[in-house]
Amino acid sequence: MDKNCILYLENGEVFEGFSFGFNGEALGEIVFNTSMTGYQEILTDPSYHSQIVLMTYPHIGNYGINDSDNESDSCFAKGLIVREHCDYPSNFTSKQSLDSYLKQNEVVGISGIDTRKLVRIIRGDGSQKCIISNDKDLLRLKDKINKFPIMQGNDLTLSATCKEIYTVAGEEDAKKVFVYDFGCKRNIIQILNQEFGLNVVVGPCDTSPNLIKDINPDGILLSNGPGDPAAAIYAINNIKKLIGYKPIFGICLGHQLLSLALGMETFKLKFGHRGGNHPVMEVESGKVEITSQNHGFAVSNKEIADVVITHINLNDKTVEGIESKKNKCFSVQHHPEASPGPHDSRKYFKKFVETI
């Protein structure tokens, strides 16, 4: 069977493969994820907005797609790259194949790629724009890539957030938390509501601080989301107005936005952190957690008054957590709501609940 599809990278590299999923063209930033499972959660995670995801594990789709693992109501990843995809899944929860799910959600897939070689290119040259296409006119594809915006300086939160405020009722007389939805994963809301019984009010990423004060929550959670945190200037300014008002907990993009609001800086990582096995050390105790991560930007290691760096990534020593006890706020770069096997990081939700 002839390969009928190509992956064309911004640096000019071309990979031939087999088309699966939606029959179309996908354009975005190529990133790789080292997780062995979780492709359904990855596809539906709003943090992957405008990105094409390369799975490093070679066999993808073997347990199919179920009704309970979506992290949002739609697929945000623009494309999926795999070594081999499975047409015939086997799992008691499976409702459909990965191929049919991608067709249904108009996500373009390509298989038969030398994914190890591709990862080495990304690690060497960094994350870059790419296109998956059935058309092999490289001049046309190069022109489309050149016109596609780079991730740095690109605010994507407004296109990943909810449209209006909604409430998820918790236990009677329970505390109330406002969640700033910058592209919030469903599991964050479920943990706050189902595990801790909290009343959760979820609002769009541009909800005004005055409206939040009218809601009068006991705490504020800054969610994950896509894009360059430094480009979301409106969000940074809103958070500045809320620091010190009520306890704040930030996750991933929320961590970066809180850090920027406190006076720190962010930068673009060469190829990002995406996977379920990243070691993070708690500075005070020296304990190491195995974490789930998905981010292409990081907070610069910079001394700021009343702000302590609480966690460090052991792979590249980037900042993984901060805290300001004076302002009753803290954040982590990794995803404590995810379960990469261990539940090492669930304790941060408990810490937030105890704070409020």
Catalytic (active-site) positions: 252, 335, 337
Rounded Cα distance, 267 and 141, in Å = 29
For 99-129, how does the pLDDT look when each residue is reduced to its tens digit (9 = 90+)? 999 999 999 999 999 999 999 999 999 999 9
* CA dihedral angle for residue 93, residue 99, residue 100, residue 102, rounded to 10 degrees: 100
So what's the pLDDT on residue 10? Answer: 96
Where along the chain do the CATH 3.50.30.20 domains lie?
A: 5-147
* CA dihedral angle for residue 17, residue 23, residue 28, residue 29, rounded to 10 degrees: -30
Rounded Cα distance, 319 and 313, in Å = 6
Rounded Cα distance, 350 and 353, in Å = 5
Q: Which residues contact 333 (CB under 8 A, 6 or more apart)?
A: 252, 255, 256, 280, 293, 295, 298, 299, 311, 313, 318, 319, 320, 321
For 271-298, how does the pLDDT look when each residue is reduced to its tens digit (9 = 90+)? 999 998 899 999 999 999 999 999 999 9
So what's the pLDDT on residue 221? Answer: 98
So what's the pLDDT on residue 341? Answer: 61
Q: Which residues contact 343 (CB under 8 A, 6 or more apart)?
A: none
For 68-98, how does the pLDDT look when each residue is reduced to its tens digit (9 = 90+)? 999 999 999 999 999 999 999 999 999 999 9
The fold of the 5-147 domain, in CATH, is Glucose Oxidase; domain 1 (3.50.30)
So what's the pLDDT on residue 2? Answer: 75
Rounded Cα distance, 93 and 63, in Å = 8
Based on DSSP, count helices (H) and strands (E) in the chain, helices before strands.
9, 19
So what's the pLDDT on residue 240? Answer: 98
Confidence of residue 223 (pLDDT cuts 50, 70, 90): very high
**pLDDT above 70: residue 18:** yes
Mean pLDDT, the chain, whole residue set = 95
The tokens describing 159, both together, are 């296109």
- Global pTM? 0.96
So what's the pLDDT on residue 340? Answer: 62
CATH no., domain 157-355: 3.40.50.880
Consecutive H or E run containing 278: strand 266-282
Q: What is the mean pLDDT of residues 218-222?
A: 98
Q: Which residues contact 183 (CB under 8 A, 6 or more apart)?
A: 46, 47, 49, 76, 156, 157, 160, 161, 205, 223, 224, 225, 226, 253
The tokens describing 81, both together, are 């790259």
Residues in the chain: 356
For 293-349, how does the pLDDT look when each residue is reduced to its tens digit (9 = 90+)? 999 999 999 899 999 999 999 999 999 999 999 999 999 999 998 766 667 778 999
Query: Can you give 205-253 as a three-state secondary structure string?
Result: CCCCHHHHHHHCCCEEEECCCCCCHHHCHHHHHHHHHHCCCCCEEEECH
Percent of the chain with pLDDT over 70: 99
Q: How far is CA 319 from CA 167, 298, 312, 343, in A?
A: 33, 7, 5, 20
So what's the pLDDT on residue 338? Answer: 78
So what's the pLDDT on residue 84? Answer: 96
So what's the pLDDT on residue 343? Answer: 73
C-beta of residue 89 within 8 angstroms of C-beta of residue 62: yes
Rounded Cα distance, 79 and 50, in Å = 9
Nearest-CA neighbor of 52 among 103, 112, 98, 108? 108
Nearest-CA neighbor of 291 among 352, 256, 349, 334? 334
So what's the pLDDT on residue 3? Answer: 86
Where along the chain do the CATH 3.40.50.880 domains lie?
A: 157-355
CA-based max dimension of the chain: 64
**pLDDT above 80: residue 1:** no
